[in-house]
Structure formats: structure tokens, C-alpha cells
Chain A
Amino acid sequence: MDPTIDPAFLRGLTQRRLSRRDLIRYAGVGAGALSLSSILAACGVKSSGGAAGSESAAAFDWASQTLHHQLNFANWPYYIDVSHGTHPTLETFTQKTGIQVNYKPVINDNQAFYAKLKPSLEQGKPTGWDIVVITNGAQLSELIDNGWLIPLDLSQLPNFTANASPTIKNPTYDPGNKYTVVWQSGLTGIAYSPKATAALGREPNSLNDLFDPAVAGHVGMMSDNTELGSIGLLKLGIEPSTSTPDDWTQAATVLQKQKDDGIPRGYYDQGYINQLENGNTWITQAWSGDVFIAQQSGYPELKFIVPNEGVMFWHDNMMIPVGAANPLDALTYMNYVYDPQVAALMANYIWYITPVPSAKPIVEGLPGGKAVASSPLVFPDQAMLDKTHQYYVYKGVSDLDQWNNTFDPIITG
């Protein structure tokens, strides 16, 4: 037996080895050093850039623009005519003008889409779009106030001047149509199933039916706080567009009470229509076009009504973001969709409110167009229009914050 031990082996046994604990400690030191610098760097980041866009927008020179025969168009899904996988009105447009349209239905949500555009606009870079479609609301106000939209040359929109419905000209959120023209409009009213009629013992006809204990646990409200707050205001008989923060508090109290009484089943986004179809809700806040589509696709028993107190009238608007590569092509297209023939083809597919009332007789002659033309939800009559109300136009971020702080606690309570 050899009593001597290899000294190298002994050293290996006694020397401190790298334990897991050490690894974690070393890692901590290294990561700390790295992250400190990054935090310091992050401190320097401003949340908002300068108004690089505003000057270029104010000085926009339409006279020097030429057609590039190219148009990048961002829109919402199912929001243009479709036939055998193509969009006939877009194809006709290309035939007539030679402008190729890159049509992308990429917008699902105003806020999320705006959040994608904002970084480019802040840095004065092009967004890649020549036309985007955004609903009247805080995002649109923010685009206008920051000078991130190219002012339209109305003299090059003769179809708009001649054919646009007076209800959508010169809107409160964009006086004089300086930056926007309407793509389509819609109503936020009430949709219900026969279960609601049975529970109430009559057909619903009022916003109060959304607050009725007879349908408790089966009422759908919207998680969009503009929609929710506006309904609260209408129920109190307050005109939303001229409401004050005091009115908002009153409306919030009513809506909070509705919630405390266990009336709403939930606060829903676009999924509200599935909730109604699956019988979870019997009566719900609803957008007019959705109900029309649900009726045609297996739920004919669903109904949409305009409550006695009135409905909200919203508008999805076409606009040209600053930095657009093809502004004249965009303007040409805007003029094109105000042609009654084109508007009729689109109205017959989209089933929201067309901005061109003179399309009505043309729609009547289209296949399946009879029901569309006679629907006051696509071609609202005067009685319907008298009941419409406009959203409150947020005057600024502090205004918007106050609205959010008033109505959000109800939704996320």
C-alpha cells in the first residue's frame, strides 16, 4: 500500500470549488452592474417626442403632389365588399385610375393600432400607410392635436361635397372635415333575444331595460368606457357631447348601482355578440351592424332596437397620416368611395351606415339588396337620426384621464 497521496489530488479535494451559490452570487454582481447602466440610460428616455409633424402638416402643398399609382390602405376586418376572395370596388378603382391598392385589414382596436403608429409619428417617420380608418375618439383627437394628419384638400373631393350625408359633414370632432372623411358609421343601441322579452313581459324599448331587475345577471354592458359612460349619461337624459365632469360622476353612480344590484353579467369587448348568441346575456349594449350580421348567420331571433332615450352615433373615419408616401392617391380613393355606385356596393356588404344616402335606390336593385335598403340601420330615416347622439369630444389628456378614472372603476371593480 502506498501511503502517499498525489498532491494534485489533495489540492483538488481541499480547494474551494465553484458552488451553485457562488454562481448565483457572481451572477448577481454582474447583472447588477449591467442593469444599473441600463436604468440610467432609460431615465433619459422621454415618453413623447416633439411636434415634428405639425409644421409639415400645416405647410402641406397639394398642388405639387402627383399620382404614384400606389395606395397603402389599413382598415378593419370585414369592412369592405368581398366577392370570390377579391374586393370588387377596389378592382374597379384600379381599373379606372391605375392605382394599385395594398389593402390590409389590420385594425382590430383603435388604441392598439394607434399605439403602433405613434412611435413613427413621434419621430417624424412615415407610418407606411396612406389611409387609415380610426373611430372618432381620444386617439383621433390626439392625431389631430399633434399635427399627425395631412389636412385634406376638399376641392379635390367633389363627390364628398355632392353626396355625403349632412349628418357626417362638419363633425364636432373634426370641424370642417379638415382632416377626416367618414368611411362608415354605426349606432350603439340595444340588442336582445326572446328571453329578455319573456323575462320583462314585453318588448324592450328603453335603456332602463338594461337596468331592470327582471333580467338581472343577463345584461351585457360594454367594456369600452366611452360606450359605457355614454349609455349612463343617456339614461339620465344628459346629452353626452356637452356633458361635464359632474354629469360623468352622476352617470358613474347609476352604473355602479346597476353593478351593485347584480344586473350586468359582464363588461364585454367585441365578444358581447357571442354572449348574446350563447344565451349568457339576454339583452346587451350592441353595435347595429353586428346584430344585422348575426341575424343573417343563424340567429334570426336576435333584435336590435333604438331605445327611447336615444342611441350613440359613431363614425369610422378615413385619414392620411403625416409622412404618407402617396397622399394624392389617397385623396383620389376618398373621392371614389363617395360615388353612390361604389357606396352602394359597399353598403350591400358591410351593413353599417353608409355616408352616402343617395346609394339607397342603387342598393335596392342589387342582389339581396331589398332588405339592406329598407333597413333604417343602413339608411337611417329622419326619425332614427333624431334619436342619435354624439360622443363627448375629449379636450385633452387631463379630460381623458378624468373620464377614465370616473368609469374604469366600474368595469374593473
Chain B
Amino acid sequence: MEQHLRSDHHGLKQKKARGKKRLAPYGLTAPGVLWLAIFFLIPMGAMLVLSLETRIPTLGFKNSGYQFTWHVGEYGAAWAQAHVQFVRSLWYGAIVTIVTLLAGYPAAYWIAFKGRHHKTTYLFLMLLPFFVSFVIRSLAWQFILSDDGIVISNLERWHLLPQGFHILSTSTAVIAGIAYNSLPFMVLPLYVSLEKIDRNVVEAARDLYATPRQVFRKVILPLSIPGIFAGFLLTFIPAVGDYVNNDILGGPNTTMIGNVIQRAFLNDQNYPLASSLSFILMVGLLIGILIYARVLGTRQIEEYI
């Protein structure tokens, strides 16, 4: 009897402990949850509401504003108005990602494998220009690359460029500007994943008579895929939504979706249009990334994150 009671008591204690344990995850995630809720989900919810609003019918400007009407038609209108800029932005983003990958991989590889005890110094040098605001840096490029600037005018004088050549206001200028600004976001994750590779594995591959090319293709590259994926996320998404580089370096036919959204929000105060454009952009990117993650394999990505 006494034995029985004691075991009951023990069970209760265990139950209590389990209850506490069940709450623990919530406690641990609370800061993250609050952060997400306040700075991501609430604005997103508000934006979703805005995208379903329509103008309050009014004469003149008195009491002008928007009301919630479940009007989903704005999405169709937004797509019809800005699909060119959407496609263009995705296209620019893709080129930017490839360019930064091609430029960033050798740099990250070199720092990780040949940097020896100067790795931190090299990384710091890589980041040094980014201590200056990227708007200032882009404006500096605008100044340097202007038609009468030191670069273009001299190259024209030496007949290395045809007369009347210009680089500003072209797609090339915008893509180069974004690529330049996002290079460290590609290099840093690549460096981390390359740095993590066990040198014994590389050694083993060499011992098994793999050529340097095979070592890279069969060992190093696959092991650095998480870094490529992280670099892609950090480069592609901001690149697609970028609007500053086009503002500063672009021309009449390089408008990106970010510029359209900015104009709708700030200049025209057309909140439904701006919100639905933002939503289309977000959903489009999400789908694209999921497909990309499938292709690269989720296991490695999770491992990396």
C-alpha cells in the first residue's frame, strides 16, 4: 500500500517535470518569436490588409484614404503594370548572383586554404570598403564613371573606347553596382564553409591519386555547397529588391521592381498597389528559393543553417 502510494507520488512528480519540459521550448523560442512577430509578421499582416484596400470614394481631397474591402483585383493590376520590372529584377538578381559567385569563390578559397595565419587580415581587407555607406560608394561610382569623369574621358582620349561611349544608365552599370555591393555577402559564407572542410579529407583524396581538379570537383565543391546556398540567399534576395543602385547608376530602361514599389508607396501614396507588388515579390522569391533548395538538397542546407 505504502509502496503503491509512493510510486503514485513519483508519477505525479514526473508528470510535473514533463510539463515543465514541455514549456521549455516555448520559453527558449520566446525572444525569437517576439522578434519575428513584431518586426516581420505584424508588418506583413498590415501589408496584406493594405493590399486588399480600395480608395474611399470622395470628392476632392477631403478625407481621402483607403478602406478594407477584400479587393483582390489590385494584384492583377499590379502584375499587369509591373511584370516587366519583375522579370527584369529576377534577371538582374540572377546575373548578380552568378557574377558574385564567380568573383567570390576564388577569393574565399584562397583565404580559407592559403591564408595561413593572415586569414582575419584578408577578411578585414575584404570588408574594409563596406565601412562606408553603400549609398556613398554608389555615388562615388557615379562620379568616377560619369561621361566626363576620369575613367571614361581618358579611355576615350587613348582611343580604347569609342567616342560617345557611356557606361552609366545601362543595365551593366546597375548589375555591376549591385554585384559590387553584395560581394562580401557571398564571400563570407563561402569562406566559412570552405574553412570548415576537414583538411584530412582533402589529403585523403590526394593520397588516392585524385588530380587537383578531381579534388576540387569531387571533394571541395560538394562540401562547400551549403556556403554557396547561403551566399545565394544573402545575395539574390536583396539584389532582386534593390532600388538604390538603379536610382544612382541606372537609366530609363533599368527600373527594378523596388523602384516601382518605392514610387507607389512614397510618391503616389498608392498603398494597395505598393503592398500587392511587395507581396507578389515576396511570394515569387519564396517559391524560387524552395525550388532551388530542392535542387541543392535540403539536408546540407539544414546542416549549414
Contact = CB atoms under 8 A, between A and B. Distances in A.
13 contacts: A27-B36, A31-B33, A38-B42, A48-B63, A51-B62, A115-B269, A146-B62, A259-B252, A266-B250, A278-B143, A396-B59, A396-B60, A396-B61
A111 B46 contact: no
Contact of B25 (A22, A42, A46, A267): A22
Contacts of A54: 62
B3 interface: no
Nearest to B27: A26
A395 B149 contact: no
A401 B55 contact: yes
B58 A397 contact: yes
A42 B45 contact: yes
B37 A278 contact: no
B158 interface: no
Interface stretch (A124-132, A149-157, A160-168, A405-413): A405-413
A310 interface: no
Contact of B37 (A38, A42, A51, A412): A38
Contacts of A22: 25
Given A48-B56, A115-B269, A278-B143, A34 B41 contact: yes
Interface of B: 24-26, 28-30, 32-34, 36-37, 41-42, 44-46, 48-49, 53, 55-56, 58-68, 81-82, 84-85, 142-143, 146-149, 164, 166, 168-169, 250-253, 255, 259-260, 263, 266-271, 302
B32 to A, nearest CB: 6
Nearest to A48: B65
A42 B42 contact: yes
A398 interface: yes
A31 B164 CA distance: 56
A368 interface: no
B143 to A, nearest CB: 7
B268 A404 contact: yes
Interface of A: 18, 20-23, 26-27, 30-31, 34-35, 38-39, 42-43, 45-48, 50-51, 54, 111-112, 115, 138, 141-142, 144-147, 217-218, 225, 259, 264-267, 278-280, 394-398, 401, 404, 408-409, 411-413
Contact of A280 (B26, B147, B271): B147
A30 B169 CA distance: 47
Nearest to A396: B60
A23, A27, A45 interface centre (most CB from chain B within 10 Å): A27
Contacts of A45: 46, 49
Majority SS of interface residues in chain A? helix
A404 B36 CA distance: 35
Nearest to B264: A408
A213 to B, nearest CB: 13
A278 B45 contact: no
A213 B241 CA distance: 34
B63, B65, B146, B259 interface centre (most CB from chain A within 10 Å): B63
B63 A50 contact: yes
B26 A42 contact: no
In the A-B complex, list the 7 residue pairs whose CB atoms are closest, starting with the nearest.
A48-B65, A279-B148, A39-B45, A35-B41, A47-B65, A278-B146, A145-B61
Contacts of B42: 35, 38-39, 42
B46 A279 contact: no
A303 to B, nearest CB: 17
Nearest to B84: A413
A412 B259 contact: yes
Contacts of A412: 82, 85, 255, 259-260, 263
Contacts of B149: 278-279
B29 A26 contact: yes
Contact of B68 (A43, A48, A112, A138): A43
A42 B51 CA distance: 12
Contacts of A115: 266, 269
Contact of A279 (B61, B147, B169, B253): B147
A47 B149 CA distance: 47
A265 B169 contact: yes
A368 B268 CA distance: 42
A42 B48 CA distance: 10
A278 B250 CA distance: 15
Nearest to A199: B164
B252 A265 contact: yes
A93 to B, nearest CB: 33
